[in-house]
Amino acid sequence: MAIKVGDKLPHFTALDSDGNAFDSKMYDGKSLVIYFYPKDDTRVCTEQACSFRDQYEDFKTLGAEVIGVSSDSVKSHQKFASRYRLPFILLSDSNKKLRKLFGVSNDLLGLLPGRVTYVIDKNGIVQLVFNSMSGKIHIQKALQILKTM
């Protein structure tokens, strides 16, 4: 069952790009922008990650933490984050548990993992679910919602 606007963010854990355990409960009381993307070091995914990086301070100013999620390994995330100086959290979902938990499906052709962004408010309530294979527009949509919260 896919997470939708108005739902409470479910509790989850995963490994971050440093191999450390990430627990969503550590972010209770904080706004989050969680974005699922297909693959590290691909053109659109890199553009999207770099757009989040370039506007990261805007997200922080609005009180939100950015979290990127893909099925890539911790090692792949380390290289990706280092190469593009990504200041935000990347989570490895190699077993696709988070994709299932959030209900992120593949693209229309079924070939690529989906690209979906969620904005969660300080109370843990989902305020935005944006599904589009276009990368950069996710940043604009997330900032728009955060500015109204």
Residues 110-130: pLDDT tens digits? Answer: 567 778 999 999 999 999 999
- Tokens standing for residue 11: 């509790």
Q: How confident is the model at residue 36 (pLDDT cuts 50, 70, 90)?
A: very high
- List the one residue out of 129, 101, 97, 125 whose CA is nearest residue 116: 129
For residue 134, is pLDDT > 90?
no
Both tokens assigned to 37:
């993307």
Helix (H) or strand (E) holding 48: helix 43-54
CB 114 within 8 A of CB 131: yes
Confidence of residue 131 (pLDDT cuts 50, 70, 90): confident
pLDDT at 28: 93
Domains annotated on the chain, with CATH: 13-148 (3.40.30.10)
- Secondary structure letter of residue 110 according to DSSP: S
Answer yes or no: 50 catalytic.
Answer: no
- What's the pLDDT at 108? 56
Catalytic pick among 14, 33, 34, 45: 45
